[in-house]
Amino acid sequence: MQEGGVFMKNIICMSLLLVLGLLFVSCSDESTAPEQSEVQNESVVAQHMTEAVSIEAKAVLTSEGRVSVSGESNLPDGTALMVSLIDEKAEGHGQDETSISNGQFTAGPLGAKSGLKPARYVINITMPMPNFQPEHVKKIIGDKGQYLIGSLVRRSDISDSNNVEISFSFNIGSVQEIKETETINQRKRLGLYDSVKLLVEQGRSMQAYRNSDDISLGRKCGEMMHRLQPQAEDIKEKASSLPMRDLSFKSSLWQLSKCVSCRSNALEACDAVSDELVEATQ
């Protein structure tokens, strides 16, 4: 009986030791878990950008006569870019927002659907302000772009941050074709100037018939208006094909139909068109 009792006591003691050992191991694992988590978190922390920013891009003319742009960059994946197409007179012909994926980006097609005319163009690629970049990108380049370095980096006093910009030229057509296009535009421009000047003079001459109680004079004003307003619309239509540099002149032509009308403020419209014509011809 005594031997049996001793045996049972030994069994119980061994069981208690085993349970205590398991509890100790379990507690040890839990105490090291946060340390392992911290190590894992440190391993995924984004590294700041240390290389000089590089962007290599090229442009191709599509079969529709528009421009597509593609390129590579070491900026972080997800970085937003703005690609713009302007001509040598700094007139815009389209822009497209894109982003970097696997170190590459594409944009376009840029330009009118009818196709771009032969001319010298400039393609401008910019990285918008860091504030507008995704959070994971800002962690790499800095919330103000302070980790961006290299010749492509530009400082913006307005946003107090660093941006990225690169430009390169792209010609459509031969040198001769480009010159011919400008010659055609200039010839059309001068012809429209003469037509507008003549129409404004006729619009001013209608003042004698406006706001008159004489029925015959009112009829005369109506006849001139019906004859001259289609000419004003025709001038406006022809001017629509002029480049963006003529935007102010083209906008003023909306007043031309009023200038040759019988309205009480027609003379004011004639003055507005005439003033813009003077600016355009200087």
Give the C-alpha separation, 57 to 69, whole Å: 7
List strands edge to edge, sheet with 119-127: 92-99, 80-87, 119-127, 161-172, 153-156
What is the token pair recorded at 251?
């906008």
Give 279 or 231, the one with higher predicted confidence.
231
What is the token pair recorded at 273?
């068109």
Same-domain pairing of 142 and 100 = yes
Give the C-alpha separation, 258 to 264, whole Å: 10
**How confident is the model at residue 92, as a pLDDT?**
65
Checking if the pLDDT of 159 tops 80, the result is no
User: Which value, to the nearest 10 degrees, does the dihedral of the CA atoms of residues 168, 172, 174, 180 take?
Assistant: -120
Same-domain pairing of 198 and 95 = no
Q: pTM value?
A: 0.53
Same-domain pairing of 180 and 168 = no
Instruction: Name residue 143's amino acid.
Output: D
CATH code where residue 115 lies:
2.60.40.10
Give residue-wise pLDDT tens across range 120-156: 888 999 998 888 899 999 999 998 989 999 999 988 8
Give residue-wise pLDDT tens across range 220-261: 999 999 999 999 999 988 888 777 677 788 888 889 999 999
Give residue-wise pLDDT tens across range 184-194: 888 888 899 99
Give 39 or 259, the one with higher predicted confidence.
259
Same-domain pairing of 163 and 192 = no
Range of the domain at 224: 176-281
Checking if the pLDDT of 30 tops 80, the result is no
Beta 119-127 vs 80-87: how paired, if at all?
Answer: antiparallel
In a domain, 79, yes or no: yes
**How confident is the model at residue 10, as a pLDDT?**
52
Of 143, 173, 203, which residue sits at a domain end? 173
What is the token pair recorded at 21?
């050992």
In a domain, 142, yes or no: yes
**How confident is the model at residue 200, as a pLDDT?**
93
Of 136, 151, 173, which residue sits at a domain end? 173
Give the ranges where 206-214 is alpha helix by DSSP (H). none
Give 42 or 113, the one with higher predicted confidence.
113
**How confident is the model at residue 97, as a pLDDT?**
93
Same-domain pairing of 208 and 265 = yes
Whole-angstrom CA distances from 82 to 47, 103, 122, 203 are: 25, 16, 14, 46
**How confident is the model at residue 69, as a pLDDT?**
95
Same-domain pairing of 187 and 167 = no
In a domain, 21, yes or no: no
**How confident is the model at residue 43, as a pLDDT?**
39
In a domain, 205, yes or no: yes
In a domain, 16, yes or no: no
Same-domain pairing of 231 and 185 = yes
Give the C-alpha separation, 165 to 125, whole Å: 6
In a domain, 199, yes or no: yes
Checking if the pLDDT of 99 tops 90, the result is yes
Of 146, 173, 200, which residue sits at a domain end? 173
